Structure formats: structure tokens, C-alpha cells
Structure 1
């Protein structure tokens, strides 16, 4: 009797153990199935958006002024809309530092690289190294002509032509002018080509001074313009200033206003919110400028980089067409910014250049 009870107890223990092991096994299988499903779901999501999650390096020669700030904003927001992340590597107007930043981006295996300014001589070796590592590159105003690289630029000769011709019209094709410009930058060199032709076309327009320094550009332009105004103190001795960069235009505008020499008119290149405020100010000598939306430039540059990441063959060069903005075209009772400038100046605003159907789908997917 005792043996039967003992045997029944042992059988009960064995049965309980079997039930526990069976339950654990079913739980493990269920968990494995759930995890496998999650992994498959994750894999499908990644497969449906292979361009999402990219690390992008933006390497800039310099990042001074509001134009650069709005350009960076355009780049950053567009990459984020694509589900990626941007790291800005600024080079403080030092080409050697820019070369080092490019090497850093390559060694850290960024998925794509955007270049802002620089020169072909300084960047070619690093760019070729990046391409050998299968890292795509899109450059803005860098003067690069390398197979596999898309070079983005404003139409610099058109920028110069629009502002110079406006100056000639306003001055009657004669007068003494000051030129603010600096060599060694591809966009500046292109603008100089147009300037040289312009001076031959209008022999009664005389250049009485020229200067320009990219380091602390606005402050340097103001200081040098103050010295020139002292050299030419009589009203009418200087008719106008042509500034090949908005940082220069802001500097000379400050100097002219402080000297009370508002008979001198300023014509600039590039446009930002700060620039528009000065152009709209009736007490400001800065009356007109030509430029492209800096934020849109950044967006377009990112789109071409993502085309490359998609495996597309992109154009070797992409031109951003500028617009001309004069004070007369802007309202007198409202402050205009780059966000609403398109309401008053045809051709300004959000650009669809470089966009594709799959990039629009990526943006919608990343937004979810």
C-alpha cells in the first residue's frame, strides 16, 4: 500500500515536470516567433527605405553670415526629412583645415559628403580618396570638375551681370565706383569675368578703389570703406559700390550710413533675411541685389547627394538660376523675408530641382 502511494507520488511529479517543460517550450517558441516577426518587420521597413538613416557630413570652408546660416538650415532640414543626420564640419576659412575635415569624414565612414566652397587644388586628392571609398560627393561653389562628383553653383556670371547692369542703368552709364571683391574663390573668379567685360562695355564708369578680404569680411569691408570715404570726402566723388558678396555689402553699407553719404548706392550679390531688411530700409544705401534662396540651395544639394546614394547617375554640373531684387520691387509697409519674397519677386522660393518620386516617397516615409 505504501509502495503504491509512493509510486503514485513519483508519477505525479513526473507528470508535473512534463507539463512545466512543455509550457516553457511553447513560450520559447512563441517568443521566438514574435522576435522573428519583429526582425522580419524591421528588415522589411529597412528594405522599403534603404536611404533612411544616412550619416551626412557637411564640410564648409567658412560659415560666416546669415547666408551660410540659412544654407546650413536648408541642408539640415532636408537631410532630416529623409530620415538622416547631418554633421557640420566648419573650417574657419582655412583650406588646410578643410582638407583635414574631409579626411576625417572619410575615415569616419560617413555615408555621403557635401562640400561648401573650397578650391579644386586643395580638395581633389581628398575627393578622389572619398570616391575610392564609395562615398558620394556633391559640392557647392568649389570649382571641382571630377568624374563622379556633381558640382552645384549659382550662375555667378548672371549674378554679376544683373547687379552691374542695374548699377549702369541707375548711374546713366557713368561715374566713379568702388569694387569689393576677393580672389581665390571660384564664384568670385566667375563674377570677375563678368565685371571685366562690364568695365570695357561702359568706359565712362571708372573704378577708383577695390578691396576685399574673406576673413571678418563685414568688419573689414566697413573699415576699408571708411578710409576710402575719407580719401574721397566730396559728395559725388563716388557714385556707387559693387559688392561681390553680401558680407561685403553689409560692411560698406554700414560705413556709408555712418558717414552720411547716402548719395552712394550699393549693389550686392547673395540674399538673406538680414540683407532684405537693409535693402528695404529707405535710409540704407543698399538698393539692389541678386541671389538665390540659400535654404533652397542646401535642399537641392542634398537631393542630388541622395540621388547618388540611390545609385543614380547625376549631372556633372547643376546651375541654380538667380533672381534680381530691387527696393522698388518690395512693399514699403511690410518687412519681407526670404520666406515670402516669392510673393514679390518671380522665380524666388522653394525649388523642386533635384527632386524625384522616390525621394518624395522617402520624405513621406521618414515623416511617419
Structure 2
């Protein structure tokens, strides 16, 4: 009898062991759904990113370039089911730092930064990271590990426009430089300008000025008018190199109104307003190098959502600029949305666009 009970107990222990082994080998439901197919963990993670609150902290919100950049940011965030709040600072770095702190305290899910410098921003950026709020910057002079910083290929843009200036002028003449210190992209553009000066000894800089303000284009126009009076004769000035489209707009208006159309303007950046000026055969602004401002906004958002998703990202993201020359453009007016039909490489960048981001957009569109 005892022998029989011992045998029964042994059988029960064996059955229980097999059951425990089977239970231990069962995969979680999230990995083996009822349909027997592996779950798409990337898609599941993407769906969890819907409804995020994103802060955009801007140093300067000026002109149509900034407007189109903001449009690109909002477009991409909204496609992913999120919402953007813009914090403008009117060029005040102390206010920019304060706005960054406010975004952290208000517990935004992610933060985008447009321009600014290390002194104003790095402490706040580090505070955001400590609170698990990812940050992605554009043209900001900050170097914090884990924070991607987008830049437009500034030296390349300067080289493109300066090479065209040198070619059009036959390698000689007098030029005016419009540039301002204190901005990371400007400092990179200045490196290319210095190399241009060293290479082109017969092209002389006869004047240089530039300041960022809330009325940059208008202020530039006034300063350019003064320079035209100082150099009143045809041939006194060959060309103007403007390191920002707000500078180019102001200089071009002054030159056109003075009837000094022998002076050509070469700029950097591109917006719909800029494109209209370049297409106008009576306007002195003849060429520019740029990245589509809407693309900049879209790409910056994609890298922020990659950080939210837990993806590995580079600390430096260089965007590829394109050169836009009046000779490339049709006679009829076009917008930057149509520019890709005439200028190879413009707009529609897929940079930073992952498969799971596309899935997240599709999921958000269904809600």
C-alpha cells in the first residue's frame, strides 16, 4: 500500500514538473499574439508616442524662413499625433534660458531648440536630460552628449555662394560683407569666407556690417543705403555677400531702389519671399544656398521622436544644402514647395525618417 502511494506521488511530481517547464517556456502575450505571428514591437512603441507635448524654444523668430521652419516642426509633430508650443525670445538669451526652464517645469515630453549658445542653454539642457526629457537642437552652439544638434552645412553654403560670386566677377572687384558674430552658423560661415579671401586676393572687402534685431532686413537696408552713398559710382561695388537671408533682403532692396543694379547680391537661406526676389530679373539678389526650412523642422522633430523612442542618435546631424541660381528657375513664379521641380536635391528629405516613424504617422492618422 505504501509502495503504491509512493508511486502515485512520483507520478504527480513528474506531471507538475512538466507543467512548470511548459509555463516557463511560454512567451509573453505581447510577443506571441493570438494570430501566432510575432508582434511588431517597433509599431507598439511608435503608438505609445501619440499625444506628446513638444516645446520649441527659439532665439529669434524672424521673417519667412522662421515661419516656414515652424510650419515644418508643427507639420511633423502633428503627423505623429503631438502638439507644439512655440516659445519665442526676441533674441534675448536670458529669456531663452528662462523659457527652457519653463518648458522643463511644465513637463513637456520633448524640447526642440532653435539657435542659442552654450552659456545660456547648457545648464537647462542638462537639467532636461536629468528629468528624462529629450532635447534636439538646430544651429545651437551646445555640446551635450546625447543631444543631437542639426546644422545646415554652413561652410558648404558659404563656399557655394562665394564661388559663384568669384566666377561672376571674374575673380576681381570690391565687395561688401554682411555678417554678424555670436551665432554658431555664422561663425562656421566666416571660416569659409576667410578661406575665400585668402584664395581671391583681387577681390577686396571694402565694407562689412551686420546686426541681428527684430527689424534686421529694414536695418540692413538703411545701412546699405549709407554704403551706397559712400561709394556712389558704378564699379565702386561689385557685389554683396550676405550670410543670412534677412541681410540679403535688406541689401537687395537698398540696391534696387538706388538703381544700382550692376551690384549683385549672393545670400544664404531660402524662403518663399526670398525665392520671389531671386526670380525677379530686376532684383540684384541672384543666388543663394540653403536647406529647405520646412525640411529642417521636420528632420529635427524626427530625431526628437527617435530619442523618445529610445533609438541611438548621432550628436551632430549635418543637413545637405543646395545651390539656387536664378538661371535654374523658370520665368513664371514658383514657391519653395515647387522648387524641387527645378533644383535637384531641394525639399522632401527622408533624413531621420525611420520605418517605425512612418507607422506612427499612419496610426495617428487613423485616430
Give the TM-score normalised by structure 1. Answer: 0.87
Match of 2:282 in 1: 283
Out of 122, 135, 138, the residue aligned to residue 137 of structure 1 is 135
Match of 1:101 in 2: 99
Partner deviation per Cα, 1:286-328 (whole Å, 9 max, x = no partner): 0000000000010000000000000111111101110000100
Match of 1:300 in 2: 299
Residue 46 of structure 1, CA deviation: 8.5
Does residue 155 of structure 2 align to residue 157 of structure 1?
yes
State the distance in 1 between where 2:333 and 2:171 align: 31
State the distance in 2 between where 1:304 and 1:47 align: 15
Match of 1:268 in 2: 267
State the distance in 2 between where 1:358 and 1:48 align: 6
Match of 2:199 in 1: 201
State the distance in 1 between where 2:123 and 2:114 align: 16
Number of residue pairs aligned between Structure 1 and Structure 2: 323
State the distance in 1 between where 2:323 and 2:312 align: 32
Does residue 187 of structure 2 align to residue 189 of structure 1?
yes
Residue 349 of structure 1, CA deviation: 1.4
Residue 158 of structure 1, CA deviation: 0.2
Any idea what SS the aligned residue of 1:288 has?
strand
Match of 2:336 in 1: 338
Partner deviation per Cα, 1:14-72 (whole Å, 9 max, x = no partner): xxxxxxxxxxxxxxxxxxxxxxxxxxxxxxx9977110000000000010000000000
Structure 1 pair 323–255 and aligned structure 2 pair: CA distance change class (3 A): same
State the distance in 1 between where 2:268 and 2:131 align: 37
Any idea what SS the aligned residue of 2:128 has?
helix
Does residue 358 of structure 2 align to residue 360 of structure 1?
yes
Residue 352 of structure 1, CA deviation: 0.7
State the distance in 2 between where 1:121 and 1:188 align: 17
Match of 1:225 in 2: 224
Out of 90, 93, 96, the residue aligned to residue 92 of structure 1 is 90
Residue 121 of structure 1, CA deviation: 1.9
Equivalence map 1:45-124=2 (5 Å): 49-124=47-122
Between structures 1 and 2, the one with greater helix share: 1
Across the aligned residues of Structure 1 and Structure 2, the Cα RMSD in angstroms comes to 1.1
Match of 1:210 in 2: 208
Structure 1 pair 290–48 and aligned structure 2 pair: CA distance change class (3 A): closer
**5+ long unaligned stretches in structure 1:** 1-44
Match of 1:6 in 2: none
**5+ long unaligned stretches in structure 2:** 1-42
Residue 337 of structure 1, CA deviation: 0.9
Any idea what SS the aligned residue of 1:266 has?
strand
Residue 145 of structure 1, CA deviation: 1.3
Match of 2:25 in 1: none
Any idea what SS the aligned residue of 1:254 has?
helix
State the distance in 1 between where 2:76 and 2:329 align: 29
Kept after mapping to 1: 8 A contact 2:46/2:356: no
Residue 336 of structure 1, CA deviation: 1.4
Residue 148 of structure 1, CA deviation: 0.9
Give the TM-score normalised by structure 2. Answer: 0.87
State the distance in 1 between where 2:68 and 2:229 align: 35
State the distance in 1 between where 2:44 and 2:247 align: 47
Bigger-Rg structure (1/2): 1
Residue 241 of structure 1, CA deviation: 0.1
